[in-house]
């Protein structure tokens, strides 16, 4: 049984309120196959619906996080039944990125090594990111004559600004973990081998917070990219009106006044 688990391309583990998804093809730097992407999307949808799961950690086994799409897998499937790369993105990559952004539970990216191409896009789509100090991010699309995809052209200018985003996209120059931290690309750095320990600590902080406030905060932050200031402040007021009537708000106020830890229930 243990051996079978080790050969699965995606490992799904639930420990209390935390679901951990582990890319598990270390011999090919966890390059993404169709099977892995379908598994990720299915697991994330399950986490979204399961009231007992409060946070998801996305990580990988071996010395890399993800080298991007498995080009060998792509070529093999194209030979069997030709398809366009655009359709491939629409069917498999884009729904995965959108699921991470839209689900109203925290998703933590734990980067243990190289994250390249769609692997870097996958990490950029997560809410909070912890990277090993020896991790690297590479926008490698230009090396195979392609435009950055899976949300990369959306995320990179927002993290880096236009000029740096173009430079790293055009040159495929690696971004070190230290640079990524300085740019705001990642939230925290960890010593090699300690990334998951830090991710689990962060997950425990998040699942102890009021779930409805966590969910609507993510919703509001996502909406801010579409709204001007006036519209966004009105949206905040609408969300406060909803949260102000919840048990968790009353409990948070009571706990503060009584100088005790709050007991949030997600209602």
Same topology, domains 2-207 and 211-257? Answer is no
Structural domain boundaries in the chain = 2-207, 211-257
Average pLDDT over residues 57-73: 90
Neighbours of 81 (CB within 10 A): 6
If we measure between CA atoms, which residue out of 84, 138, 91 comes closest to residue 115? 138
Q: How confident is the model at residue 78 (pLDDT cuts 50, 70, 90)?
A: confident
CATH class of 211-257: mainly alpha
Q: How confident is the model at residue 88 (pLDDT cuts 50, 70, 90)?
A: confident
Q: How confident is the model at residue 246 (pLDDT cuts 50, 70, 90)?
A: very high
The model's pTM is 0.92
Q: Tell me what the pLDDT averaged over the chain comes to.
A: 92
CATH topology of domain 2-207: 2-enoyl-CoA Hydratase; Chain A, domain 1 (3.90.226)
Residue 159 has pLDDT above 70, yes or no: yes
């Amino acid at each position: 049984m243990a051996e079978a688990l080790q050969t699965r391309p995606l490992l799904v583990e639930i420990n209390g309120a935390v679901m951990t998804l582990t890319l598990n093809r270390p011999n090919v730097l966890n390059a993404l196959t169709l099977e892995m992407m379908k598994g990720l999307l299915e697991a994330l949808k399950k986490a979204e619906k399961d009231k007992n799961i409060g946070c998801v950690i996305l990580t990988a086994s071996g010395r890399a996080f993800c080298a991007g799409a498995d080009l060998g897998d792509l070529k093999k499937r194209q030979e069997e039944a030709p398809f366009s790369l655009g359709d491939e993105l629409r069917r498999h990559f884009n729904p995965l990125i959108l699921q991470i952004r839209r689900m109203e539970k925290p998703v933590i990216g734990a980067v243990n090594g190289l994250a390249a191409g769609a692997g870097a896009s996958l990490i950029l789509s997560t809410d909070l990111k912890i990277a090993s100090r020896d991790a690297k991010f590479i926008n490698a699309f230009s090396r195979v004559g392609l435009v950055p995809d899976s949300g990369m052209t959306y995320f990179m200018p927002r993290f880096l600004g236009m000029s740096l985003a173009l430079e790293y996209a055009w040159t495929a120059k690696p971004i070190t973990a230290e640079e990524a931290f300085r740019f705001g690309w990642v939230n925290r750095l960890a010593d090699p081998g300690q990334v998951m320990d830090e991710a689990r600590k962060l997950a425990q902080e998040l699942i102890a917070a009021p779930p409805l406030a966590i969910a609507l905060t993510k919703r509001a932050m996502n909406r801010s990219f579409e709204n001007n200031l006036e519209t966004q402040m009105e949206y905040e007021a609408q969300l406060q009106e909803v949260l102000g009537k919840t048990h968790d708000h009353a409990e948070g106020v009571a706990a503060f006044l009584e100088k005790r830890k709050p007991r949030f229930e997600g209602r």
